Amino acid sequence: MKQSHLITKTVKSIPKEEVSLNSRLLIQAGFIDKLAAGIYTYLPLGLKALNNISNIVRDEMNKAGGQELLMPALTPKKNWEETGRWDGLDVLFKLKGAGDKEFALGATHEEVVTPLMKKFILSYKDLPKYVYQIQTKYRNEPRAKSGLLRGREFLMKDLYSFHTDSEDLDQYYEVMTKAYFKIFERCGLGDSTHLTYSSGGTFSKYSHEFQTVCKTGEDIVYLCKNCGLGVNKEIIDETPKCPGCEKSEYEEKNAIEVGNIFKLKAKYSDAFKMNFKDKEDKEHPVIMGCYGIGPSRVLGTIVEVHNDKNGMVWPEEVAPFKFHLVNLSKDSVQADKAYEALQKKGIEVLYDDRNEPAGVKLKDADLMGMPYRLVISDKTAEKIELKKRTEDETKLVALEDIDNV
Ligand code: ATP
Ligand code: MG
């Protein structure tokens, strides 16, 4: 992609009320634009990064047997009344349609997926099943000051699992836990993300959060100094010993909840009377689990965790482009050639072909944070100067060798 063709420009002045680091950097670099508190447009570069995260999530969900579908965001009141959440869920956006029919914008989808799967799950032979979607959710969050970390409109992957019994659910819960760790590792958050016990379980003693340690995180977690397992603030008093290794030395950290997994058991199956027949034709409620992850919150978290004084630092699998080719020569012959050669090889490259001073181009490259910078200047002769965004050293490489870095 030629930078001169991009619809966006880096932004000099950011609105004062935009206080979070992730939104400030993303707005400044032209990755997102703010429409209102907690509501953002994903611009081409931001959308590319967001799609990369969604695709990592999709890949790992497919590997874990998930089947993708897409449920509506507009959901009728009666479904929420069945579970008591029309009045019980305080963040629900409610609206009236034609004929005064009432709807909610989906904040989560148990009320849609349960009656949906009820149509297909009849006997034990239909179980287990796993379905997921990557979809825009709406929540009337009272505090929407954290940029992409707390949107009023945001992207969520929600997977729902359906089982004959709790043992089968427990096994799949382990499969999902592993898949989540793989996702966070691929998103560059592997080292800083901890499985955390939380007291939020509806029908089991604990549910689990995936918490990414970060100074700006709004959650407090207690990490076991021995095994790294986390316990969230609300249960720390009842869990003086680490649930993982029984040691009792914790350190307190700020963190961002990037994912959340729950054993729902029969809560929603009971509400919608979703039963299956066993071998003896006896009916039982289907046992459910749900597994959420916010790709847009993950995007914001990556920016909060991976940055320096000059800007963002994208992990390779999430970066909109792996390479940022910057031409500092007076003419563009060599840079155009390099760009074309890299394009031909299928290498993702953003090419700064703008007519701007070197200082501006290099500053923008740092701010935008692609993993590798390639500079062509009068000093590099036939070679190209390669620099990793995370390192200070540069080295001269031949065009042919660039795909091996
Ligand atoms: P929080 O406690 O931070 O409000 P939650 O417990 O309400 O999160 P869930 O309902 O379990 O979150 O949603 C699943 C995932 O969706 C979360 O782990 C997070 O990654 C993401 N998420 C939830 N709310 C938001 C939001 N307002 N903006 C962006 N992502 C969100
Ligand atoms: Mg919430």
How far, CA to CA in Å, does 404 sit from each of 176, 308, 386? 33, 26, 12
- Ligand 1: which atom is nearest the Cα of residue 256? 3
Which of 235, 236, 228 has the alpha carbon at shortest distance from 211?
228
Q: How confident is the model at residue 206 (pLDDT cuts 50, 70, 90)?
A: confident
Buried b (16+ CB within 10 A) or exposed e, 48-77: bbbbbbbebbbebbeebebeeeeeebebeb
Domain boundaries, the chain: 8-308, 321-404
Note the ligand closest to the C-alpha atom of 152.
1
C-alpha 139 – ligand 2 centre gap (Å): 8
What average pLDDT does the segment 103-124 reach? 98
In 3-state terms, what secondary structure has residue 280?
coil
Other CB atoms within 10 A of residue 211 CB: 28
Other CB atoms within 10 A of residue 381 CB: 10
Cα–Cα distance measured from residue 314 to residue 243, given in angstroms and rounded to the nearest whole number: 34
Q: How confident is the model at residue 239 (pLDDT cuts 50, 70, 90)?
A: confident
The whole-number pLDDT of residue 368 equals 98
- Whether the per-residue pLDDT at 233 is higher than 90: the answer is no
Note the ligand closest to the C-alpha atom of 184.
1
Architecture in CATH for domain 321-404: 3-Layer(aba) Sandwich (3.40)
Residue 376 near residue 338, CB atoms below 8 Å: yes
The whole-number pLDDT of residue 136 equals 98
- Whether the per-residue pLDDT at 387 is higher than 80: the answer is yes
- Whether the per-residue pLDDT at 372 is higher than 60: the answer is yes
C-alpha 151 – ligand 1 centre gap (Å): 9
Residue 384 near residue 396, CB atoms below 8 Å: yes
Which of 146, 144, 139 has the alpha carbon at shortest distance from 254?
146
C-alpha 294 – ligand 1 centre gap (Å): 7
Q: How confident is the model at residue 273 (pLDDT cuts 50, 70, 90)?
A: very high
Note the ligand closest to the C-alpha atom of 110.
1
Residue nearest to atom 23 of ligand 1 (CA): 294
What average pLDDT does the segment 266-274 reach? 97
Cα–Cα distance measured from residue 45 to residue 50, given in angstroms and rounded to the nearest whole number: 9
Q: How confident is the model at residue 203 (pLDDT cuts 50, 70, 90)?
A: low
- Please check whether the two domains, 8-308 and 321-404, share a CATH topology: no
- Whether the per-residue pLDDT at 231 is higher than 80: the answer is yes
Which positions ≥6 away from 320 have C-beta within 8 Å?
Answer: 31, 44, 45, 46, 48, 49, 52, 314, 348, 350, 370
Q: Which residue has the tokens 């910078």?
A: 373
Q: For 50-66, write each residue's pLDDT tens digit.
A: 999 999 999 999 999 99
What kind and span of H or E run contains 178? Answer: helix 166-186
- Residue 159 in contact with ligand 1 by CB distance below 6 A: no
- Whether the per-residue pLDDT at 191 is higher than 80: the answer is yes
Q: Which two tokens stand for residue 379?
A: 């000093």
Residue nearest to atom 14 of ligand 1 (CA): 292
49: amino acid identity, one letter: A
Mean pLDDT of the chain: 96
| CATH, range 8-308 | 3.30.930.10
- Residue 50 in contact with ligand 1 by CB distance below 6 A: no
141-145, 254-258, 302-306, 342-346: least confident range: 141-145
CA angle, corner 114, sides to 269 and 107, nearest 5? 115
- Whether the per-residue pLDDT at 97 is higher than 60: the answer is yes
To the question of pTM greater than 0.85 for the whole model, the response is yes
Cα–Cα distance measured from residue 155 to residue 241, given in angstroms and rounded to the nearest whole number: 36
- Ligand 1: which atom is nearest the Cα of residue 258? 20
- Residue 301 in contact with ligand 1 by CB distance below 6 A: no
